[in-house]
Amino acid sequence: MKSIAPLLALYKKIVMLGSVNAVIGWDQETYMPSGSIEFRAQQTAFLSELSHSILSGKDFRNALSPLIDFATETINPAITDPIQQRMISEAHRDWKFAVSVPSSLVSELAESTSLAQHEWQHARKTNDFDRFKPVLDRVIRLTYQKIDYIGFAENPYDALLDPFEPRMTVKKLDPLFSELRGVTQTALKRMASVEHPPLPVQHFDLGRQRWLSDDLLNRMGFDLSRGRLDVSTHPFSTAFHPTDSRITTRFSATDLMDNLSSTMHEAGHGLYEQGLPIHYFGTPLGSSMSLGIHESQSRLWENMVGKSPEFWEGYFPILCGQFPELKAIDWTTFYQFVNHVSPTLIRVESDEITYNLHILIRYELEQLLFSNTISTGDLPDAWNQKMEAYLGVRPDSNANGVLQDVHWSIGAFGYFPTYSLGNLYAAQFFEAAQRDIPALSDQIRGLDFLPLRDWLKTNIHQVGRSQTPDELVETVTGQPLSIHAFERYLNRKFTI
Amino acid sequence: MKSIAPLLALYKKIVMLGSVNAVIGWDQETYMPSGSIEFRAQQTAFLSELSHSILSGKDFRNALSPLIDFATETINPAITDPIQQRMISEAHRDWKFAVSVPSSLVSELAESTSLAQHEWQHARKTNDFDRFKPVLDRVIRLTYQKIDYIGFAENPYDALLDPFEPRMTVKKLDPLFSELRGVTQTALKRMASVEHPPLPVQHFDLGRQRWLSDDLLNRMGFDLSRGRLDVSTHPFSTAFHPTDSRITTRFSATDLMDNLSSTMHEAGHGLYEQGLPIHYFGTPLGSSMSLGIHESQSRLWENMVGKSPEFWEGYFPILCGQFPELKAIDWTTFYQFVNHVSPTLIRVESDEITYNLHILIRYELEQLLFSNTISTGDLPDAWNQKMEAYLGVRPDSNANGVLQDVHWSIGAFGYFPTYSLGNLYAAQFFEAAQRDIPALSDQIRGLDFLPLRDWLKTNIHQVGRSQTPDELVETVTGQPLSIHAFERYLNRKFTI
């Protein structure tokens, strides 16, 4: 009578609809002809509504209600298998979120963010915050309503964090991010005077860059029989199933690292998806754990591996094989080029140190917004002041300031912190990998990345969603999440 | 009380699910990594089952029942709008088909055809009909059951024809195809002695071939902002909406016409989809009319335009622009090369004349099968005898004989006739276009194809499914479907 089967059958449908929606989303960003964008939006909305109607429908509630007490959130004691208990609590979590926000508000948010995204594109192009302000204001007001429906224990912002990073709160984040700010600013001061070493090549053939991408994917063990690399305006990763993980990159003839970093970053995400527990596919435990954990996988490969001295000592000869003019410099010069530190106005162009300062600014502004301390109109000035205070540079325009990122227009408040969390998780996981694989540095120098990939698969990917991020960090590293590993990493790498 | 709205709302869902399924089907044939075929099959089956459960569910029946009397198939007289009447009758047609076959049989057929397709691939490679025979036999037995559930007025084979070519019957087809056989065999005898003119080029650069494909698409008015051309093993066309029509081709370095014919053929299908009535999208009238009508559009462009003397007089200089070695011959020699007639063992490699004989053989064998005149084991010999009798060539193996086509393994009995029907419709439509556009020959010679495309859009594409194929032929040509236009076409083109 206490079977979990009906719940799992409904949950599987939701996962299948999501996987199909991901396929058409991938197509939209890669191959879809421009003239069908309107219909594609209809297809996406149709699948999302279908999925939402199953999750918030009475069948789902009826499948869940014998398994968990809604008032106390206690799982029926007749369920003794810890895996089943976990499946129930995760399904309950998803359900609670889906039924907490009324469909009318979901529709209103969908419509207003669609409009806001459109207005944001124009506003950014024409450097016109005033044009964006009223639609952004509406998105913020609706997000306030969403917060009220979702509810929170201590801080309204917690309701925004939780969907992206389960169980993350302002109380946990504030001290972490405060320490991160100090550590980062110290490192920045130390490195700011180091000069940019120039490269002896200005033009990088795209075909040879593509060869390097494919080479890196093969070396990283990204399985191209269960995934693809394509080209898109903004690199991204998506997956439909552990057997179908799609990533993209982009090529710039003048900026070699744009492609190499993007490829390794997205392949980090892609490896996570290829490594998810296939036996849990379709259940609440089969998916990735959180955005922060996902980002830890991309940043670990992009930065801790792909910008390390060991990597460039090993890979520079291969790079020179494609671009022989680079033989005019040695690998250490190239390594310095790759790791050059310099405050910039734009987050996505920033280095490993200043990146986190960009995130902290957004985190602090979002908190000020949702504690009613500042209003939409105050954002441009508040942004510029924080840029000057934290990075020492002041945006010359709102286009290069408050208007630079898409996230707020799509209502993704609470999302930015997961980028910095990703860096912290990555550093802590990487230290644990170094502990468990004593030869790791030599392996990276020898371009043998498979032991690291296998370690990540065993310790992180295969866990799926059967732990929380906090539990995972404790299990893998023996320590709770902290700033220390990242601090050690920065101080070791960025010294004069 | 007699609103058609609830019916249309449910119908729209079925169309949306079909459109999404078409996207993932396109992806499967173009970019999907090989290792995810199993999961893709699950996604496809999931969407098909969801769609079938809506169409055969009680909500759909309840939406339909006030609008039409199920016993007499009379539309409620309160519905007076002919468009609404048509929508109801087409929706009822789809519903009747969906509920006639029990889900258990649908599943059994899906499973057995999946297995049969797998076995067919191996059997074809190893020339082993005996390996294929038991699974094919099971598919045929299940198809027998399907016929009984669908029902038929006169001939069991009618139940197989109707899903592909609505309202087509053996009684209508037999005399047509009997005449077609006579006409075709006469033309074949006349042309068999004409020699094959050799080409002065043996290798055709793929990039230049791609340029020609794009050039042809542009000239034909295939809108690349609402469609794409990709590459796949077997060229095909699919569409998700009039704003998203996808076609594929393939390139052979030694066979120039493989790509050019495929491109024009698939673009003919693609133009049909781009020209469908967008205001009817999602209703029972928004889709294409039948497989035969669809094939008429591809064959009209591929053969009546793309293999005409006018076309090659105009296009040969452009071809020579890409392959200057061809200047060693004149356009009439190339035209003869393109239209060379010679009996072959393989349908998809055959010329315009013998193609229909390949179809007639399959049509006759299917009829013999489903009237219990022959059994599965008799197929190879029966096939070879008919090949010898109709085409004068005897297959050297079953791989080049009865095993050459995928259709029977996927249970698509009743499908082949639509290929020849496409040729008959195409000839009759093309005569009507010549009547309505007196300058058509000159326009084709001048490579100005847009008047023809517009004529096809207005007279055929825009009709959607608001007429039957029979009605459409009468409306457009003023005559019922017959062999005559095709006969005149063959006799004019294939003379010595």
DSSP B441-492: HHHHHTT--HHHHHHHHHHTGGGTTSS-HHHHHHHHHSS-S-SHHHHHHHHH
> Other C-beta atoms within 10 Å of A150: how many?
17
Q: Please give the pLDDT value at position B304.
A: 98
Q: Please give the pLDDT value at position A194.
A: 83
3-state secondary structure of B233: coil
- One-letter identity of residue B452: L
B145-172 pLDDT, tens digit each:
999 999 999 999 999 999 999 999 999 9
B463-482 pLDDT, tens digit each:
999 999 999 999 999 999 99
Nearest CA among A251, A22, A464, A277 for reference residue B32: A22
CA of B230 vs chain A CAs: smallest distance (Å): 10
Give strand ranges (E) for A155-272: 227-231, 237-241, 244-249
- A227 backbone dihedrals φ, ψ, rounded to 5°: -175, 175
B218-257 pLDDT, tens digit each:
999 999 999 999 999 999 999 999 999 999 999 999 999 9
**Are B46 and A13 inside 8 Å of each other by CB?**
yes
DSSP-derived secondary structure letter, B152: -
Q: Please give the pLDDT value at position B1.
A: 54
DSSP-derived secondary structure letter, B355: H
CA of B472 vs chain A CAs: smallest distance (Å): 29
Structure tokens at B333: 């020699």
B470 touches A at CB < 8 Å: no
**Are B35 and A244 inside 8 Å of each other by CB?**
yes
Please give the radius of gyration of chain B, using alpha carbons only, rounded to the nearest integer.
23
**Are A244 and B47 inside 8 Å of each other by CB?**
no
DSSP-derived secondary structure letter, B408: G
CA–CA distance, A394 with A400 (Å, rounded to integer) = 10
Cβ-contact A418, A295 below 8 angstroms: yes
**Are A19 and B227 inside 8 Å of each other by CB?**
no
Q: Please give the pLDDT value at position A103.
A: 87
Which of B23, B247, B248 to mutate: most A Cβ within 10 Å? B23
Q: Please give the pLDDT value at position B496.
A: 75
- For residues A162-166, average pLDDT: 95
B233 touches A at CB < 8 Å: no
Task: Tell me how far the alpha carbon of residue B342 is from its chain's centroid.
Answer: 23
CA–CA distance, B486 with B427 (Å, rounded to integer) = 5
B347 touches A at CB < 8 Å: no
Q: Please give the pLDDT value at position B62.
A: 97
**Are B27 and A32 inside 8 Å of each other by CB?**
no
SS3 content of chain A, % helix, strand, coil (to 5): 65, 5, 30
B492 touches A at CB < 8 Å: no
Contacts of B43 in chain A (CB under 8 A): 16, 19-20, 23, 240
CA–CA distance, B122 with B120 (Å, rounded to integer) = 5
Which of these is catalytic: B90, B165, B266, B431? Answer: B266
Structure tokens at A102: 């009324």
- For residue B33, give the nearest of A31, A39, A227 by CB distance: A227
Is the pLDDT score of B210 beyond 90? yes
DSSP-derived secondary structure letter, A68: E
CA of B228 vs chain A CAs: smallest distance (Å): 7
Please list, in sequence order, all residues whose beta carbon lies within 8 angstroms of the beta carbon of residue B400, skipping any fewer than 6 positions away: B345, B346
The residue ranges of every structural domain in chain A are 1-100, 107-151, 156-496
Please list, in sequence order, all residues whose beta carbon lies within 8 angstroms of the beta carbon of residue A17, skipping any fewer than 6 positions away: A47, A50, A51, A54
Listed by number, the residues of chain A in 47-76 with a beta carbon closer than 8 Å to a beta carbon of chain B are: 47
Cβ-contact B223, A35 below 8 angstroms: yes
Looking at domain B152-496, which of 3.30.750.24, 1.10.1370.30, 1.20.120.1200, 1.10.3720.10 is its CATH number?
A: 1.10.1370.30
Q: Please give the pLDDT value at position A416.
A: 98
Q: Please give the pLDDT value at position A1.
A: 54
Contacts of A40 in chain B (CB under 8 A): 244
B144 touches A at CB < 8 Å: no
Burial A447-473 (b: 16+ CB within 10 A, else e): bebebbbebbbebbbebbbbbbbeebb
A352-407 pLDDT, tens digit each:
999 999 999 999 999 999 999 999 999 999 999 999 999 999 999 999 999 999 99
Q: Please give the pLDDT value at position B439.
A: 98
Contacts of B34 in chain A (CB under 8 A): 225
CA–CA distance, B39 with B244 (Å, rounded to integer) = 25
Which of these is catalytic: A266, A352, A366, A431? Answer: A266
Please list, in sequence order, all residues whose beta carbon lies within 8 angstroms of the beta carbon of residue B368, skipping any fewer than 6 positions away: B374, B382
Q: How confident is the model at residue B201 (pLDDT cuts 50, 70, 90)?
A: confident
Nearest CA among B311, B299, B264 for reference residue B427: B299
- For residue A16, give the nearest of B19, B31, B43 by CB distance: B43
Is the pLDDT score of A196 beyond 90? no
* Span of A139-148, A190-199, A302-311 with lowest mean pLDDT: A190-199
Structure tokens at B469: 């194929």
Q: What CATH number should be reported for the domain whose range is A156-496?
A: 1.10.1370.30
DSSP-derived secondary structure letter, A303: I
Q: Please give the pLDDT value at position A495.
A: 87
Is the pLDDT score of A292 beyond 80? yes
A392-432 pLDDT, tens digit each:
999 999 999 999 999 999 999 999 999 999 999 999 999 99
Structure tokens at B300: 């009209």
CA of A213 vs chain B CAs: smallest distance (Å): 17
Q: Please give the pLDDT value at position B103.
A: 87
A266 catalytic, yes or no?
A: yes
Give A245's strand partners.
A227, A239
* Mean pLDDT of the residues in chain A: 96
B255-279 pLDDT, tens digit each:
999 999 999 999 999 999 999 999 9
- For residues B285-305, average pLDDT: 98
- State the residue for tokens 């789809």: B94
Is the pLDDT score of A134 beyond 80? yes
Q: Please give the angle made by the CA atoms of B189, B195 and B201, to the nearest 5 degrees.
A: 140
* Mean pLDDT of the residues in chain B: 96
DSSP A351-367: -TTHHHHHHHHHHHHHH
CA–CA distance, A311 with A325 (Å, rounded to integer) = 20
> Other C-beta atoms within 10 Å of B122: how many?
11
B240 touches A at CB < 8 Å: yes
A37-95 pLDDT, tens digit each:
999 999 999 999 999 999 999 999 999 999 999 999 999 999 999 999 999 999 999 99
